[in-house]
Amino acid sequence: MRFAKLLTLALLAAPGVVPVSVPAQITITFGARLGPEVGLHAYSVQRMGDWRQSYRQWTPVTVYDVNGHFYLRNVRGSRPVLVYRYNNEYFFPPQDRDWNGFDRRYDYRRRPSEGDYERARPYADMTYDRRLGQEFGVVGYSPERAGDWRTNVRFWTPVLVFEFDGRYFQNSYPGARAVMVYRYQNEYFLPPNDQTWIGTDRRYDYNRQPTEEDRNRARRLDRDGRDADPRDNGRGRGRGGF
């Protein structure tokens, strides 16, 4: 036992050996209202303008990191990160050194980490018109979060969203496809993938139910707000959902 302890200390003292810090997973109280996930982009001078002249048009907004995903609602254990909103898009602040301390409205103690910047969504596929309105993060149905559909479906609200380029928006637009989803505790999710569910909810327009492609790209959350299957972590982050 003493030898093992000495060996561990020797390894830590050896050159080039750096202890690895693994971020702890946050446990979310069941029923906590996370709300839709916020998709964050890197700052783009082409979309937001030069920050020295345009930053006053941006609105500082606090989002909350929950297991590598960002939400507008604060829950216990989440990490606050201050970002900007402009033209209904959320993005990280510039990584220019001169930006530090430049915006007095911004709380630099809550600036993003390097890991946050690495999770930024690219703008390469951002070709949609802003008239589509707000983008919604739509996840798969999870009985752990929304309850068994046979008893809880009456508490869910059917909501019509519009799929465009693998993402879901508030408004209709030429080329967008209408999809009926549910909202519960401010989370948007696909209906159950259960054949016995079809036709049971008279409020739901079954002519606009999701396709297999919708279901394949949807993330599924467990009762604590984490990805239900770690192997699917981040699935659909390209052209699909958040």
For the chain, domain boundaries = 40-118, 130-232
- pLDDT at position 222 is 62
pLDDT mean by block of 10 residues, the chain; 242 residues: 44 40 56 76 89 94 92 89 91 94 95 92 61 85 91 95 90 92 91 94 96 88 59 38 44
**Which residue from 2, 67, 3, 17 is spatially nearest to 37, judged by alpha carbons?**
67
223-242 b/e (C-beta count within 10 Å ≥ 16 → b): bbbbbbeeeeeebbeeebbb
Cα–Cα dist 213/220, whole Å: 14
Helix (H, G, I), strand (E, B) or coil at 60: strand
Q: Which residues pair with 84 in a beta bridge?
A: 60, 91
Longest dimension (CA), the chain: 71
Cα–Cα dist 197/35, whole Å: 24
- pLDDT at position 231 is 40
Query: Is there a contact between 141 and 192 (Cβ–Cβ < 8 Å)?
Result: yes
- pLDDT at position 185 is 84
Query: Is there a contact between 168 and 139 (Cβ–Cβ < 8 Å)?
Result: no
pTM of this structure: 0.52
Cα–Cα dist 110/106, whole Å: 9
Helix (H, G, I), strand (E, B) or coil at 47: helix
Q: Which residues pair with 183 in a beta bridge?
A: 157, 188
